[in-house]
Structures are given as C-alpha cells and as structure tokens.
Amino acid sequence: MQRSSETACNPGLLKAILNESMTEVTVIDADTLRILHANPAAVRNLKVSPAELAKLTPLDLMPPEDAQAFQNLVALLRSGRRRRGSLVMHCRRRDGSLYRVETRMFLSREGGRPLLICFAHDETRHEATEQALAHSASDLRAIVANMPGMAFQILRPPGGTPALHHVGDQSMQLLGIKAATLRADPERFFRMVHEADRAGYLEALAASPGGHLSFDWDGRLHMRAWKDVKWVSVRVSTRITAQGQIWDGIMLNVTHSKLAEEEIRRSRARLRAMAAHVETVKEQERLRLAREVHDDLGGNLTAIKIALAGLARHLPPGNGALAERTAYLETLIDQTFDAAHRIAANLRPATLELGIVAALRQQCQEFGRTTGIACRFSAPAGPLTLDADAAIAIFRIAQEALTNVAKHARATHVRMRLARRADSLVLTLTDDGCGYAPKPRKGGVPGFGILGMSERAAAFGGHLEIDAATPRGTRVSLYIPLDAAATGATE
C-alpha cells in the first residue's frame, strides 16, 4: 500500500519538524519509563542535557501530587483501554522551578517494544499572555476612563451603515448627554453644533467617508441646558478589521485654549495698533521738528548771515583781524545751514513731497555717496500715488535695510527695485554681501531693526521676507497691498 504522506516516508523531514517544534516531544519506554529521546524544546524547558535525561524517568521530573495521575494514564494506555490520553501536570526544571504543561500521550510499538509518545505544551506562556492581555484591557479601560476627553468608536460593517459602537462615560461631563442616549441618537450631536460653525462642520463631514463624528474638526457647541458655548476638538483615525471599518476618535474640550488663543490674537492686534500709532506720532513729530529746523532755525540763520554781511561792509579798512573773524563766522553759519538741512532731511526727507519714487532714488544716491557702495535704483515708469503714511513706512523700511547693508553686509553693489504687481506693491533690495545669518537673541526675539521693519509692513497688511540672494548676498522683499498703500493703515 502506497503511503499518502510525504512525511511518513521521509524520516529526515520528520526529525527536522520535531527539532524545530516549540512543543516538547519525548519518547518513553513504556516498561521502564526511561526517557529514550527528547526534542530540543523539551531540553530547553527542562534545562537538563540529553545525557542526563536518559538516566531519568518522567516521575523524576514531576511533583509527587502529579505522579499518580501520570501512572494511571500510562496504565490505561498499556492495557489498551485507551488509545490516547491527556492530562495537565507540572514539570520540574533542574533549578527546582515548576512550570505547568498540558500533556498528550499515545502508545506506539516499534519491533514489539512499547513506547510512549508524549507531547507537552508549556501553558505558562499562554497564561502570561492572557494575564498581559487582561492587564492591557484593564489599563486601557483605566486610561479611557481618566482621559480628559470623550473617547468614541464608530463601526461600519461590510455593506452596512456606520453606527456609534462605543461612547465614553465622559459624554455627560463634556456634552451633558448620557453615553447611552448619544449612542441611540448620534444626530443629537449635530443639533448641538453652533450655527456659525455648521457650514464648516458639514463641509468636513462631506469630505469624510464615515458619517457623523468620523472626521477631524474644531468648532463650537451650543450647550442649551447650561446656556453656554463650548469649543471641542474631534480627532479620528481609521482602521480595517474583520468586523468592518472602525473609526477610533476622541473629543476634547478645548474651550480654555481657544479663549486663550483669541485673547492672544486680540492682544497682538492691540499691540500692533499701538505700534502703528506710535510710529505715526513719531513721524508727525519728526515732520514738525523738520519744519521748525527748516523754518525757524533756517530763518534765524539767514537773518544772522545778512546782518553779518552788513557789518562786514562797514568794517574800518585795514583791520585784518576783524575781517578774518567775520569770514570765520560766515563759514560757521554756512556749516550750521548744512547741519540744519541734514537734520531736517533725516527727520523728514523733503523729496517725499515729490513722491516715494523720488525719495527712494535720492536715498540710494545719498547711500552711494556716504558709503562708497554702488546702489542702483529702478521703479515703474508711470505715476505711483501712495498714502502719505504708507509712503513714509516704505521709505523707513528701505532706509533701515540700507543701514543694515552698510553695517553688516560688506557688500560692493546694491540693487533696489520698486515694482507694482496685480494687487501689491513690492520693494526688493538685493546686495552681494556676506549673507544674512541672524544671531539668536535672548527669548528668541529678532533684531529690533528687522522687527521694526516687519511691524511697519504688518501695519499696512503687508509682510517682509528676508532670504539668500543668488549667487550670494541677501534679498529683502517688502510686500504691501495696493489698497492699503493707497488708503493707509486701518485700526
């Protein structure tokens, strides 16, 4: 008769299977109970060498309370009343420790010699796994019960509709609704969504495949029972199981953080408005001082020079000392005139009255004369009408950028370009210097010069960008919306 099993006709394969098996397999002489063979799993668990096992019987490896049950099973197998049997007993390792095994035995004969084939499965690992799972489930329940938000789970079976499978007990604390009530009527959550946030809720809902509460969303809930509004954050992850598609989610109360964020935004808006107001007051004061220097001081200096010229004409001839002294005073008055003009120009450039393009062109020329750095300027050919406050803000930002180039860049060429785009005015200043590497300041606050430039831009709804130029150097780009530049900053 041909054997149908390849294993039965291949002893080498059978031996390999026994050697790799995690189950303990031992072959025992049924008459003497001597252990004839033990696979590697039995040797590892018992921690006894094969040579030592050959001198032992199973009775030597078990406690006395298990010996009688083992002998009874052996007797049943030898008598033929049972073909196979099983029992749960303990095995003793060399170090004296015991471990629990589930044992299955059957009787076989080889050349008329009765042999007991014993399979023992170590149940301690199974018990440890069950205990670990029990602890894990207990820990998970404790975590879910004590978490600061409400956990929920949505199950959509294959071909079915999504349903709330689990709702945490925090539902009452968070929503004022019992968990069982919410499971029975999930639409109740939608009725709590604040009217101002329902459009965003429905938009997020339409983009999700799982129905209500199966997406990521931040919004407000109207708590009618408490006459209050609460911010919540819903976060969901999806997984596929044999039961179907599952969404595991958590809903958190983020009211305090949202209120804090709103207060921070309001504070920043107030600080920005205050900074813009301070800059406006400063520019008005500079304008007033520039006019006083130009008109009052300039007028007085002019009157002094005219009077001094009249005195010089009436000096007695031949008095060289008085003539020399008069010439010195005239030179000093001229120098004071130049200083007054310079101070007035620094306070409020007169070229601003001619427009931002003329003011920036004159600033580039002055920068080139005082620093020796070539500065090239380009601007749109057509007229460019700006609000006075926007014009002075753009000019001050360009002035600060040029000052930074002179102080830090070690550049040889600077290009300043004023351009008009579809909806914004763009001022770009590029140098070929060593590049911009901001030094970290205490508290992470950037340099006050750059901070002032950014705040001036933000006051008009614009922003400032500083990045590396090509092939080297730094590029400073200012973007101001045209409507803000035309009408000025708003509160």
pLDDT per position as a tens digit, 170-182 = 888 888 888 888 8
Beta-carbon-side half-sphere exposure of residue 43 (alpha carbons within 13 Å): 15
Q: How many CB atoms lie within 10 A of CB 332?
A: 12
Rounded to whole angstroms, the Cα distance separating 31 from 113 reads 9
Rounded to whole angstroms, the Cα distance separating 422 from 380 reads 13
Contact 27, 35 (CB under 8 A): yes
Rounded to whole angstroms, the Cα distance separating 178 from 189 reads 12
Mean of per-residue pLDDT scores for the chain: 83
Rounded to whole angstroms, the Cα distance separating 113 from 92 reads 28
Q: How would residue 158 be classed by pLDDT, with cut points 50, 70 and 90?
A: confident
Q: What's the fold here for domain 147-253? A: Beta-Lactamase (3.30.450)
Residue 321 has pLDDT above 60, yes or no: yes
Beta-strand pair 474-481/217-223? unpaired
Q: How would residue 4 be classed by pLDDT, with cut points 50, 70 and 90?
A: very low
Residue located via tokens 């205050």: 274
Second-level CATH architecture of 350-487? 2-Layer Sandwich (3.30)
Q: How many CB atoms lie within 10 A of CB 339?
A: 13
User: If residue 245 lies in a helix (H) or strand (E), which one and from where to where?
Assistant: strand 244-253
Q: Do domains 147-253 and 350-487 have the same CATH topology?
A: no
Q: How would residue 212 be classed by pLDDT, with cut points 50, 70 and 90?
A: low
Residue 348 has pLDDT above 50, yes or no: yes
Question: 420: closest CA among 375, 376, 486?
Answer: 486
272-305 tens-digit pLDDT: 888 778 877 887 887 788 788 877 888 888 888 8
Residue 432 has pLDDT above 90, yes or no: yes
For residue 294, what are its two tokens?
A: 């130009």
Q: How many CB atoms lie within 10 A of CB 270?
A: 10
Residue 406 has pLDDT above 60, yes or no: yes
- Could you tell me which residues come within 8 angstroms of residue 491 by beta carbon, excluding any fewer than 6 positions away? 273
Q: How would residue 440 be classed by pLDDT, with cut points 50, 70 and 90?
A: low
Any idea where the domains of the chain sit in the sequence? Answer: 11-127, 147-253, 259-346, 350-487
24-41 tens-digit pLDDT: 899 999 889 999 889 898
pLDDT of residue 340: 84
Residue 488 has pLDDT above 90, yes or no: no
* Across 198-223, average pLDDT: 79
* Across 233-258, average pLDDT: 88
Residue 392 has pLDDT above 60, yes or no: yes
pLDDT of residue 368: 94
pTM metric for this prediction = 0.50
Q: What's the fold here for domain 11-127? A: Beta-Lactamase (3.30.450)
pLDDT of residue 8: 46
75-101 tens-digit pLDDT: 998 888 888 899 989 998 888 888 888
Contact 416, 427 (CB under 8 A): yes
Q: Which residue has the higher pLDDT, 468 or 205?
A: 468
pLDDT of residue 209: 63
Residue 428 has pLDDT above 80, yes or no: yes
Q: How many CB atoms lie within 10 A of CB 466?
A: 17
Rounded to whole angstroms, the Cα distance separating 171 from 177 reads 6
Where helices occur in 293-371 by DSSP H, the ranges are 298-313, 320-347, 356-371
Most confident of 342-346, 397-401, 457-461: 397-401
441-473 tens-digit pLDDT: 555 555 678 888 888 888 888 999 999 988 889
Q: How would residue 412 be classed by pLDDT, with cut points 50, 70 and 90?
A: very high
Residue 126 has pLDDT above 90, yes or no: no
Residue 491 has pLDDT above 60, yes or no: no
* Across 429-449, average pLDDT: 71
